[in-house]
A and B are shown apart, each in its own frame.
Chain A
Amino acid sequence: MRAHRKPVSLLAAGLLILGVAPAALAEVVVIANPATQVAATDVEEIFLGEKQFAGSTKLVPVDNGPQQEAFLGKVLKLDSNKYNSKWAKKSFREGLNPPAVKSGDAEVIDYVKRTPGAIGYVASAPTGVTVVQKY
């Protein structure tokens, strides 16, 4: 029984590392529709509704449910409660709707590819879209 303790501990440590490390090191890639010109410095204002146009193109930010926590923490420096609170005030004051929440990378990529002005974020850089910034 004692002989099994070390391997079990190592396994637990390994699982812990595997479980925690990817979240801590996860990459967030902001992507945009290829026809849309977006600067990395504008990403925060776009997702907070402060910047709504790129030239004459209406910007359409979309959130990515599974990646949202990482995005908010790394890019906007907010938690989801503060993010939602900011949008509640913005919506009440200006009649804007918060970004639609997509179910994952596949849906975000599909939406961004086919929607002019769309901007979203995913876990790894796909093809067929403009990579605005990696975080």
Chain B
Amino acid sequence: MTTRSTKALSALGAALMVAAAPAMAAGPDADARIRELERKLERSMQMIESLQGEVQTLKAAKAGEAPAAAAAAATAVNAEQSAKIENLERQVAQLGSGLSARGTDDGVGLHGFADVGLSRSGENNPVYGRGNKGFNLGSFDLYLTPKFGTNVRSLIELVFEVDRTGAVNTDLERLQVGYAFNDGVTAWLGRFHTPYGYWNTAYHHGAQIQTSVLRPRFLDFEDKGGILPAHTTGAWATGTFHLGVGKLGYDAYLGNASHIDAGGTLDMKMAGDAKYRTMGGVNAWYSPKALSALRLGVHGLRGTVEADAGNASPGLTRLNMYGGYGVFLDDDWEALAEYYRFDNTNLTGGTGSHQSSAWYAQLGRSFGSFTPYGRIERTSLDQADNYFAQQANGRSYNRSVIGLRYEVDPKSALKVELNRTKKKDLGAGVADDGYNEAYIQYSIRF
């Protein structure tokens, strides 16, 4: 279009020049004609300038229109492509969510432990006599960790166990509902594992996650030889503070005070009590940033425990336990040690206060899938202390344990364990009972 306009103007100019040439070659009266031609030429030049101006204007307008149109077209294409990509991403994400290996926070986490095995024990049991051997079932532990909201937590644990008579017992091991305010405070209500020391909350019924077959005897469950309330029904606050040099954690709890039932077993009174008494404690620990595998803690537990009627000496005892512990757990080494000191006061018999102690130390080292380990346990329990005297398992003992753990796969372990135990303080004229035990345990988690 532009080229055509320029050509037209050039042709018009050439025509005018041709038209003017004959006039220049005419006679003396041609002046008037020449002036007339000059006027025509001037008007033609004005017309040419006018047309050139219009052509320039059109050129400028055309030059401005092209980028704007191109930009508009590109924007439209980009928007369309972005929408398509976003839609594709959403479809892939939706497809992916269906393939996710684990559920979201809205789901119900179901986990558990189970263990089976065989054992041979030479213990002289007051009820069943000396010795027990054969294949046995350990426990089948199911726990759920459903979530109801951003800050609400819950933990529900159900345990099926086979007792010495072969009967299956069911226990609502934990039923706790909590609210996490922040890293520093999570408050729980319900029945929970009493947070003293390390072992009781770290492993409890989780046979597969503890290195050994047996727990330290004095930390065993109330009906299995333990001398402390392994469970509490009440309220529990726990949290961790992230300091620059490490982490500081705590537990503070208050609940129903245990009784010693007529069978000599600690009863946590999870339905309350007509003569309500409380039991409470604290646990504080520190883990340095430079050595995060290490945890050092102190703990204490205080409450009034009643030995119910039916015991040889019913009455009240002020339980006052305190102590400390150290744990080192890295990829290769496992070292655990806990110390418990008792300074109990007899409130009924007026025999004053009595000091006792219990401790264990365990060391293990992993070599690939194998972990050999050993543990020693020592207790010195004052039998003038009604708290121990009335408990069926309140006698002092020494135990030495060696074992070997083999990781069959990441979720199952095979363990072989031997121990030598000597029970003391069995009564006037009753000799100490020394015996050996052997265990094979196959444990899983899921």
B71 in the interface (beta carbon within 8 A): no
Contact of B183 among A51, A84, A88, A109 (CB under 8 A): A51
CB <8 Å contact, B178 and A95:
yes
With a cutoff of 8 Å between Cβ atoms, the chain B residues found around residue A111 in the complex are 93
**Binary contact readout B373-402 vs A (1 if CB under 8 angstroms, 0 otherwise):** 000000000000000000000000000000
**Binary contact readout B196-221 vs A (1 if CB under 8 angstroms, 0 otherwise):** 00000110101001000000000000
With a cutoff of 8 Å between Cβ atoms, the chain A residues found around residue B277 in the complex are none
Interface residues on chain A, number (Cβ under 8 Å)? 35
A124 in the interface (beta carbon within 8 A): no
CB <8 Å contact, B182 and A91:
no
Stretch of B5-13, B143-151, B222-230, B414-422 lying at the A interface: B143-151
With a cutoff of 8 Å between Cβ atoms, the chain B residues found around residue A96 in the complex are 145, 153
Given contacts A45-B242, A53-B182, 7 further A-B contacts (CB under 8 A): A88-B445, A97-B147, A100-B102, A103-B96, A104-B96, A106-B92, A110-B93
| Alpha-carbon distance A89/B205, docked complex (angstroms) | 12
Q: Which residue on A lies nearest to B157, using beta carbons?
A: A92
Contact of B180 among A52, A60, A65, A89 (CB under 8 A): A52
CB <8 Å contact, A103 and B99:
yes
| Alpha-carbon distance A103/B90, docked complex (angstroms) | 13
| Alpha-carbon distance A92/B151, docked complex (angstroms) | 18
CB <8 Å contact, B206 and A92:
yes
A58 to chain B, nearest CB (A): 5
Interface residues on chain B, number (Cβ under 8 Å)? 40
| Alpha-carbon distance A57/B209, docked complex (angstroms) | 32
Stretch of B15-23, B104-112, B162-170, B306-314 lying at the A interface: B104-112
**Binary contact readout A78-94 vs B (1 if CB under 8 angstroms, 0 otherwise):** 00011011001101111
CB <8 Å contact, B143 and A106:
no
B357 in the interface (beta carbon within 8 A): no
| Alpha-carbon distance A50/B362, docked complex (angstroms) | 25
**Binary contact readout A22-53 vs B (1 if CB under 8 angstroms, 0 otherwise):** 00000000000000000000000100001111
A50-B247, A82-B331, A101-B101 are contacts. A93–B92 as well, Cβ < 8 Å? no
With a cutoff of 8 Å between Cβ atoms, the chain A residues found around residue B240 in the complex are 50
A120 in the interface (beta carbon within 8 A): no
A-B contact pairs, 24 of them (CB 8 A): A51-B183, A52-B180, A52-B183, A53-B182, A53-B183, A58-B150, A65-B100, A65-B101, A82-B331, A85-B209, A91-B111, A92-B143, A92-B204, A95-B154, A95-B178, A96-B153, A97-B145, A100-B102, A101-B101, A102-B100, A106-B96, A109-B89, A109-B93, A110-B89
